[in-house]
Amino acid sequence: MRLRRLRRVGWVLLGSLALLGARWWVRPTPQAAPASGATPERAAAEETSTADHTKFEILQQPFRTGPEVTKACLSCHTEAAKQVMATTHWTWVYQPPTSNEVWGKRYDINNFCVAIVSNWPRCTSCHVGYGWKDDSFDFDNETAVDCLVCHDTTGTYKKFPAGAGHPAYEPKEFPPGSGKIWEPPDLSYVAQHVGRTSRRTCGACHFYGGGGDGVKHGDMDSTLAEPPKDVDVHMSPEGAGLTCGDCHKPQAHAIPGSRYVMVAKDTHGKDLPESDGFPTSCESCHGLRPHELGKLNDHVDRVACQTCHIPAFARGKRPTKLWWDWSVAGDKARGKETDEHGWEVYNYMKGEFRWGKNVVPVYRWFNGQMDVMTLGERIDPDKPVYINEPHGDARDPNSRIYPFKEFRGKQGYDPEYKLLLVPHLFPFHPDDTTAFWKGFDWGPAFEVGMKTAGLPYSGRYDWIETTMYWPITHMVAPAEQALKCQACHTRQGRLAALAETIYIPAQSGHPWLDPIGWTLTGLTLLGVGIHAGLRMVGRRRS
Amino acid sequence: MRSVRRVYLYTRFERFWHWMQALLIIGLGITGFEIHGTYTWLGFAKAYMWHVRFGLALVALIVFAAFWHFTTGQWKQYIPSFERIGVMLRYYTQGMFRNEPHPYKKSELSKLNPLQRLTYLVFKILIAPIFVTTGLLMIFYNRWPEWGLNWDLGTVATLHSIAAFLMLIFFIVHVYMTTTGRTLFANIKAMLVGYEEVPWEEADVASVGD
């Protein structure tokens, strides 16, 4: 009888367990988070401004040059130029907190147009100033700050591509011989229609890095001015409609978001609308456990949001450049060649290119720190040359798996001094044949480039392959287009290259496990088969 | 012609427990090897979710079965008896092919032959605990730092996978062994209905309670 009672207790226990289980079993399936509806209307913001710039008399004059406009701006905004001049946008100098080196565009080298030195007027067409045409530029001249390039709301103000930061003041052709005429903007009209920055103003430079639309970054091109939702869910007018400044929140004209030192892992979580001084990251809005499905939240300690939510970069209208080989430049007979997409694959001024759209990133451990090569840094030509390299390690809790655009190319180096060479590309004056884009001779181009940079040059040059890594963080796709589990959780998934550094189910595994396991399983089946056969033989014999 | 008697071998709970366990283990195997990367069928997310559900359900079942075994005293069925293992092995590797009678007679008091006792005991005290421990550890992987654990996920996962291969091998042999009863399906039938027809001979009486 005791036994029977116990059995009854048992069934009751089992029943309650089953009920408990069912509650958890039928947990609702995760649903996409509702799209943020609290998008501030930009137009409304402009209407709430307390100043109508068309009514300022000082702006109702026929400005002849950019600096004249700046002078007018500064008559009210007395501290604006000082603020701008303290920022990287002005100095192009960056002091990393983690290194004694000095970085910044002024001292960096890359594998696009390589270096600014000796090529100023072309490169500084993206400087937030006027007139940086050579080494003598006065960085203390307040009227040389360009207010309009960031604050134009008309879309008519454009810096001339080879104007050292100035717009065209008379109709000018660029590129030379292209027949494309750059008309001078109506500076008075632009000055009376200044306002907040926009995707368009930031993009005027940042979409065109590397000398063309979408060339450099991979996650930014002119599509982002008005992106469809599937290209960028945050910046799309059908999405959150955010502008650059919503995340890159300026403080006294200083705009956070440097790629030299980034935040690869935000442990602060939600800190908007009032920033806690920590740079805005995905977590600033989405928090530290953004997914409904718990297991996805278990990934955020080791996998950056970008890794799953930017399934591919260059998803806009333009492809991004993936390869640039300077060594074959200068062949005027080849002139310019395009591929079947109409993408330029050869240009006698620049060499051979490869492009990509919908490019799958490479993934690296990243703690936010970049190692950056600067002018005059020796290379080891026997090893792969990384011009910049993300730092990070699976064993470092501050590192996460992060997506990058890997950009490779071939550029000149000095085999004797083991230095990457600065090419003098853009002529100092119309008769400057030492410039490669005038004389098409690398000898003088490297000689003048290195001399201007104050670096030694042996007179010999050769070509070497180099690699750069560009962190991918824009072009976040709508949630339903994020990577599915099996993008990584499969044999030869996206993170195959990192399978040795962290255990990824379905991807990683002890190399002996499966061979031994399946061999033993096979032997078992074989043994069972033989046993069954022998039984049948035995039965037939009897 | 030998006479047979119907022996009530498997109680209602045991049968429920056995088949629930069988279903869960098959489900765990199918989803588990997908998570392992052997093939793609449900998709990783579904495979993972069901694997965890099956796994936790199995843990609940194990807890419950343990309760049942201790309250009913049925745990004694698994006390190993090594003396007749040699006889059993001899039967399975030789005697069976000569149609010799099974050296072990099941009864209500002793349901498992010495080989079964040993195999199931190894399963209960070695394989199942490895599965459950490593499985739960992996579910709560993100809490490890909180718990002060500094283990390698790969090692824990490998242990889980080793247990899985052992389980797979057990499963193959176990299913095959069901066909070695009086008829091909006699053993399965017994596990379904509870009763098994056992030959009834004078000599057998002595072996009862071994």
3-class secondary-structure state, position A464: strand
Pairing relationship of beta strands A370-372 and A388-390 according to DSSP bridges:
antiparallel
Does B181 map to a domain? yes
Span A315-357, pLDDT tens digits: 999 999 999 999 999 999 999 999 999 999 999 999 999 999 9
Q: Are A521 and B52 in contact (CB under 8 A)?
A: no
Pairing relationship of beta strands A370-372 and A362-366 according to DSSP bridges:
unpaired
Contacts of A21 in chain B (CB under 8 A): 56-57, 60
> Which residue range is the domain that position B199 belongs to?
3-204
Pairing relationship of beta strands A462-471 and A385-386 according to DSSP bridges:
parallel
Q: How far apart are the C-alpha atoms of B107 and B205, rounded to whole Å?
A: 10
Does B152 map to a domain? yes
Nearest CA in chain B to A535: B97
Question: For residue B176, what pLDDT is reported?
Answer: 95
Residue A117 φ then ψ, to 5°: -50, 130
First to last CA, chain B: 26
Q: Considering chain B, what is the average pLDDT of its residues?
A: 87
Q: How far apart are the C-alpha atoms of A194 and A185, rounded to whole Å?
A: 14
Nearest CA in chain A to B143: A298
Span A140-189, pLDDT tens digits: 999 999 999 999 999 999 999 999 999 999 999 998 888 999 999 999 99
Q: How far is B203 from chain A (nearest CA, A)?
A: 24
Does B210 map to a domain? no
A509 touches chain B (CB under 8 A): yes
Contacts of B44 in chain A (CB under 8 A): 484-486, 489-490, 506
Contacts of A6 in chain B (CB under 8 A): 71-72
3-class secondary-structure state, position A427: coil
Handedness of CA A212, A218, A219, A224 (dihedral sign): positive
Q: How far apart are the C-alpha atoms of A198 and B152, rounded to whole Å?
A: 48
Q: How far is A310 from chain B (nearest CA, A)?
A: 19
First to last CA, chain A: 49
Q: How far apart are the C-alpha atoms of A473 and A221, rounded to whole Å?
A: 13
Span B52-68, pLDDT tens digits: 999 999 999 999 999 99
A525 touches chain B (CB under 8 A): yes
Contacts of A7 in chain B (CB under 8 A): 13, 72
Whether residue B36 and residue A505 make contact (CB cut-off 8 A), yes or no, is yes
Span A483-509, pLDDT tens digits: 999 999 999 999 999 999 999 999 999
Contacts of A508 in chain B (CB under 8 A): 154, 157
Contacts of B50 in chain A (CB under 8 A): none
Does B193 map to a domain? yes
Nearest CA in chain A to B177: A528
Question: For residue A97, what pLDDT is reported?
Answer: 84
Compare A4 and A400 and report the one with higher pLDDT. Answer: A400
Q: How confident is the model at residue A6 (pLDDT cuts 50, 70, 90)?
A: low
Q: Are A242 and A36 in contact (CB under 8 A)?
A: no
Pairing relationship of beta strands A370-372 and A400-414 according to DSSP bridges:
unpaired
**Chains A–B, number of C-beta pairs less than 8 Å apart:** 109
Nearest CA in chain B to A512: B158
Mean pLDDT for the stretch of residues A48-71: 95
Tell me the residues of B at the A interface, defined by beta carbons under 8 Å apart: 13, 34-38, 40, 43-45, 48, 53, 56-57, 60, 63-64, 67-68, 71-72, 92, 96-99, 141-142, 152-154, 157-158, 161-162, 164-165, 168-169, 172-173, 176, 179-180
Q: How far is B154 from chain A (nearest CA, A)?
A: 5
Q: How far is B158 from chain A (nearest CA, A)?
A: 7
**ipTM for this prediction:** 0.90
Q: Scan for tokens 């499969």, then name that residue.
A: A490
What DSSP letter does each residue of B99-155 carry, written as one string? TPPPS----SS--S-HHHHHHHHHIIIIIHHHHHHHHHHHHTGGGHHHHT----HHH
Contacts of B91 in chain A (CB under 8 A): none
Whether residue B176 and residue A503 make contact (CB cut-off 8 A), yes or no, is no
Q: Which two tokens stand for residue A242?
A: 């955010």
Whether residue A21 and residue B56 make contact (CB cut-off 8 A), yes or no, is yes
Does B84 map to a domain? yes
Does B70 map to a domain? yes
Q: Are A501 and A365 in contact (CB under 8 A)?
A: yes
Strand spans (E) along A342-497: 344-347, 351-356, 362-366, 370-372, 385-386, 388-390, 400-414, 419-420, 462-471
Whether residue A486 and residue B142 make contact (CB cut-off 8 A), yes or no, is no
A536 touches chain B (CB under 8 A): no
Whether residue B99 and residue A490 make contact (CB cut-off 8 A), yes or no, is no
3-class secondary-structure state, position A354: strand
For A522, other C-beta atoms within 10 Å of its C-beta total: 10
Q: Of all helices (H) and strands (E), which one includes residue B7?
A: strand B3-8
For residue A413, the cross-strand partners are: A420, A462
Mean pLDDT for the stretch of residues A426-434: 95
Q: How far is A485 from chain B (nearest CA, A)?
A: 6
Q: Over 60: is that where the pLDDT of A368 sits?
A: yes
Q: Give percent of chain B with pLDDT exceeding 90.
A: 55
Q: Considering chain A, what is the average pLDDT of its residues?
A: 91
Q: How confident is the model at residue A384 (pLDDT cuts 50, 70, 90)?
A: very high
* Of B88, B108, B118, the residue nearest B180 (C-alpha): B88
Whether residue A10 and residue B67 make contact (CB cut-off 8 A), yes or no, is yes
Q: How far apart are the C-alpha atoms of B85 and B91, rounded to whole Å?
A: 10
| % helix, strand, coil for chain B, step of 5 | 70, 5, 25
Contacts of B161 in chain A (CB under 8 A): 509, 513, 517
Contacts of B158 in chain A (CB under 8 A): 509-510, 513
Q: How far apart are the C-alpha atoms of A227 and A241, rounded to whole Å?
A: 9
Which residues make Cβ contacts (< 8 Å) with residue A161, sequence separation at least 6?
A122, A125, A174, A175, A182
Does B133 map to a domain? yes
Which residues make Cβ contacts (< 8 Å) with residue B208, sequence separation at least 6?
B105, B107, B109, B110
Pairing relationship of beta strands A351-356 and A344-347 according to DSSP bridges:
antiparallel
Question: For residue B138, what pLDDT is reported?
Answer: 95
Contacts of A486 in chain B (CB under 8 A): 40, 43-45
Contacts of A532 in chain B (CB under 8 A): 176, 179
Q: Over 60: is that where the pLDDT of A37 sits?
A: no
> Of the ranges A6-20, A297-311, B23-37, B165-179, which one carries the lowest mean pLDDT score?
A6-20
Mean pLDDT for the stretch of residues B128-139: 95
Question: For residue A98, what pLDDT is reported?
Answer: 78
A272 touches chain B (CB under 8 A): no
Q: How far apart are the C-alpha atoms of A161 and A166, rounded to whole Å?
A: 9
Question: For residue A7, what pLDDT is reported?
Answer: 61
Does B209 map to a domain? no
Q: Are A233 and A245 in contact (CB under 8 A)?
A: no
Q: How far apart are the C-alpha atoms of A156 and A138, rounded to whole Å?
A: 27
Span A466-479, pLDDT tens digits: 999 999 999 999 99
Q: How confident is the model at residue A257 (pLDDT cuts 50, 70, 90)?
A: confident
Write the CATH number for B24: 1.20.950.20
Query: Which of A510, A518, A542 is the best mutation test for B, with the most CBs of B within 10 A?
Result: A510
Q: Which two tokens stand for residue A167?
A: 């717009």
Whether residue A524 and residue B169 make contact (CB cut-off 8 A), yes or no, is yes
Q: Which two tokens stand for residue A397?
A: 């809790």
Question: For residue A16, what pLDDT is reported?
Answer: 58
Compare A28 and B76 and report the one with higher pLDDT. Answer: B76
What DSSP letter does each residue of A141-198 carry, written as one string? -GGGB-SHHHHB-SS---B-TTTTTPBPSS-EESSTTS--EEPPP-HHHHHTTB-S--
Nearest CA in chain A to B142: A298
Query: Helices B12-36 and B44-72 meet at what angle, rounded to 10?
Result: 150
Q: How far apart are the C-alpha atoms of A275 and A277, rounded to whole Å?
A: 5
**B40: nearest CB among A13, A486, A510:** A486
Task: Give chain B's domain count.
Answer: 1
Question: For residue B61, what pLDDT is reported?
Answer: 96
Q: Of all helices (H) and strands (E), which one includes residue A96?
A: none
Q: Are A349 and A337 in contact (CB under 8 A)?
A: no
Nearest CA in chain B to A15: B64
Q: Which two tokens stand for residue A292?
A: 């409904």
Q: Are A305 and A291 in contact (CB under 8 A)?
A: no
Query: Which of A301, A395, A485 is the best mutation test for B, with the most CBs of B within 10 A?
Result: A485
Q: How confident is the model at residue A91 (pLDDT cuts 50, 70, 90)?
A: very high
Question: For residue A542, what pLDDT is reported?
Answer: 67
Q: How far is A399 from chain B (nearest CA, A)?
A: 15
* DSSP 8-state symbol, A85: H
Mean pLDDT for the stretch of residues A507-512: 93
Q: Are A406 and A362 in contact (CB under 8 A)?
A: yes
Q: How far apart are the C-alpha atoms of A24 and A201, rounded to whole Å?
A: 51
Q: How far is A490 from chain B (nearest CA, A)?
A: 5
Count, residues in chain A: 542
Q: Are A356 and A408 in contact (CB under 8 A)?
A: no
